[in-house]
């Protein structure tokens, strides 16, 4: 997987202004320093018991993972554990204590005003989620949920929720239509209607979020905003997962981004943005489990897009291409004969305009096969809209976020053509409930939390090569 420096380069190229780390990786925090990117760090599940049982342990964690990095690294939130009630129930009795101890350490350092503390929950803690107006949290967790919600309310924090319409669809045995899960338009007679409120639901995502709002209302908490910390759709599955496809993943994530950015909110709270992380930034080829578990990413390990999000009409915040400001370059270690063959193909059958490489033209110098191949490879890559597989050339090319333009030689796709960067889709790494060492990032639209637009992407465990 990419190194922290490479990850941050991608985030900057994508104009990502917020990032969430699934842990508090020191190398990532150092790489994020002085970038202005707003960072959420996380307490891994395996550290929760110790922190929840000791104020001193919590203070030490904050000192090492927060105070040591601010203000150079702009840390704005701490996610304490992930889906503790459903994945680590033995730690549930100390969950709220952990949040309080972490918050107390922030108060002692006068950081509580800028850093929020919360904990992501699985939507499976919501029972009878449809109709949303009848939903409620699993009552067996009331001894935890009530003090948790009191804490979130008193600290003006948010309720973190993981929302996966894919799993709801898969587990419904055909009851939930695929179009309803994917945000596809439904005729009015196909919309789900809450008989108690007469609210119409056109997608699973909104129904789950409103079910959480109603569940909090059931416990008499009505002013805590919801932050969706994980959501997405796998792009590939095995024979038992026929709807884990590139098209469905593209459709879901594109529609989700559009849905969040149009500020529509939910039927219960129209106009109130539900900030959201997309799961996840990179595919995980070595992850155990079914094929779908390896294929939630928007990029592969080489930062090659798995698919290009369809975002036409999404407004000025996003463009049609998630990989703006990425380029295709020749590998300097590649066999010169293979580079020459690939260069000949690009300028011939590949129909790249290679006149810029002729003597006397802007990109003639340096006059060597690596430099000329880099220009031709990138021109082809850009011409093909950066589609998967168009920056390979039999293994002699690779993706980079560094603009290879030099002097008067301006490469296709470079901001140098018009002096300004195009609007870009901002991606963000995020967390997964069962894996530590993850990073997550999200897109941020200007404004305070109550008006911000956040689209995030989860970045799973990384091995730095």
Tell me the three-class secondary structure of 147-196, residue by residue: HHHHHHHHCCCCEEEECCHHHHHHCCCCCCCHHHHCCCCCCHHHCEECCC
Window from 164-168, 184-188, 201-205, 448-452 with minimum mean pLDDT: 448-452
pLDDT at 310: 56
Window from 161-170, 339-348, 409-418 with minimum mean pLDDT: 409-418
d(Cα 38, Cα 16) in Å, to the nearest integer?
A: 9
Task: Identify which of 306, 303, 281, 321 has the alpha carbon closest to the alpha carbon of residue 397.
Answer: 303
363 phi/psi in degrees, rounded to 5:
-110, 20
pLDDT at 276: 85
For residue 129, pLDDT beyond 90: no
d(Cα 322, Cα 311) in Å, to the nearest integer?
A: 9
d(Cα 332, Cα 409) in Å, to the nearest integer?
A: 19
For residue 17, pLDDT beyond 90: no
Total residues belonging to the chain: 465
Q: What pTM, to 2 d.p., does this model score?
A: 0.70
Among 46, 83, 293, 365, the active-site one is: 83
pLDDT at 16: 67
Q: What is the pLDDT of residues 377-409, one digit of tens each?
A: 999 988 887 776 788 898 898 887 678 888 889
Alpha-helix residue ranges (DSSP H) falling in 95-157: 95-108, 142-154
DSSP 3-state of 32: helix
Among 230, 241, 293, 332, the active-site one is: 230
In this prediction, residues 433-438 reach a mean pLDDT of 34
In contact, 390 and 305? CB cutoff 8 Å: no
Q: What is the pLDDT of residues 218-262, one digit of tens each?
A: 999 998 999 988 899 999 999 999 999 988 998 898 888 888 877
Q: What is the pLDDT of residues 51-82, one digit of tens each?
A: 999 999 999 999 999 999 999 999 989 999 99
Active site residue 280: no
In contact, 137 and 127? CB cutoff 8 Å: yes
331/431: higher pLDDT: 331
To the nearest 10°, the Cα dihedral for 254, 257, 259, 260? Answer: 170
Buried b or exposed e, range 350-366, using 16+ CB within 10 angstroms: bebebebbeeeeebeee
């Amino acid at each position: 997987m990419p190194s922290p420096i490479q990850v941050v380069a991608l985030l900057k190229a994508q104009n990502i202004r917020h990032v969430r780390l699934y842990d508090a990786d020191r190398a990532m925090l150092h790489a994020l320093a002085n970038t202005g990117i707003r960072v959420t760090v996380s307490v891994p599940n395996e550290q929760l018991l110790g922190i929840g049982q000791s104020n001193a342990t919590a203070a030490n964690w904050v000192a090492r993972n927060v105070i040591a990095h601010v203000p150079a690294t702009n840390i704005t939130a701490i996610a304490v554990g992930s889906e503790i009630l459903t994945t680590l129930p033995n730690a549930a009795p100390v969950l709220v204590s952990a949040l309080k101890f972490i918050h107390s350490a922030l108060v002692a350092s006068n950081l509580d005003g800028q850093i929020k503390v919360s904990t992501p929950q699985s939507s499976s803690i919501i029972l009878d989620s449809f109709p949303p107006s009848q939903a409620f949290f699993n009552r067996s967790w009331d001894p935890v949920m009530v003090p948790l919600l009191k804490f979130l309310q008193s600290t003006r924090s948010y309720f973190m929720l993981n929302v996966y319409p894919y799993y709801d669809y898969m587990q419904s045995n055909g009851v939930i239509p695929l179009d309803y899960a994917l945000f596809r338009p439904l005729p009015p007679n196909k919309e789900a209607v809450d008989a108690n409120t007469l609210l119409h639901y056109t997608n699973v995502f909104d129904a789950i979020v409103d079910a959480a709002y109603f569940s909090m209302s059931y416990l008499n908490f009505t002013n805590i905003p919801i932050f969706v910390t994980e959501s997405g759709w796998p792009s590939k599955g095995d024979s038992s997962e026929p709807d884990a496809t590139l098209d469905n993943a593209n459709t879901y994530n594109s529609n989700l981004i559009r849905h969040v950015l149009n500020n529509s909110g939910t039927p219960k709270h129209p106009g109130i943005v539900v900030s959201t992380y997309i799961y996840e930034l990179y595919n995980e080829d070595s992850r155990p489990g079914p094929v779908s578990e390896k294929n939630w990413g928007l990029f592969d390990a080489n930062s090659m897009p798995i698919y290009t999000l369809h975002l036409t009409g999404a407004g000025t915040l996003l463009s049609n291409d998630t990989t703006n400001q990425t380029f295709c370059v020749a590998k300097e270690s590649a066999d010169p004969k293979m580079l020459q063959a690939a260069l000949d193909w690009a300028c011939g059958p590949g129909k790249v305009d290679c006149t810029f490489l002729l003597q006397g033209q802007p990109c003639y110098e340096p006059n060597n096969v690596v430099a000329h191949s880099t220009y031709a490879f990138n021109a082809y890559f850009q011409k093909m809209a950066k589609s998967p597989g168009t920056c390979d050339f039999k293994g002699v090319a690779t993706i980079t976020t560094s603009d290879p333009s030099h002097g008067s030689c301006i490469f296709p796709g470079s901001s140098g053509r018009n002096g300004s960067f195009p609007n870009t889709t901002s991606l963000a790494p995020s967390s997964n409930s069962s894996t530590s060492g993850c990073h997550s990032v999200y897109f941020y639209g200007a404004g305070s939390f109550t008006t911000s637009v956040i689209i995030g992407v989860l970045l799973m465990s990384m091995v730095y090569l």
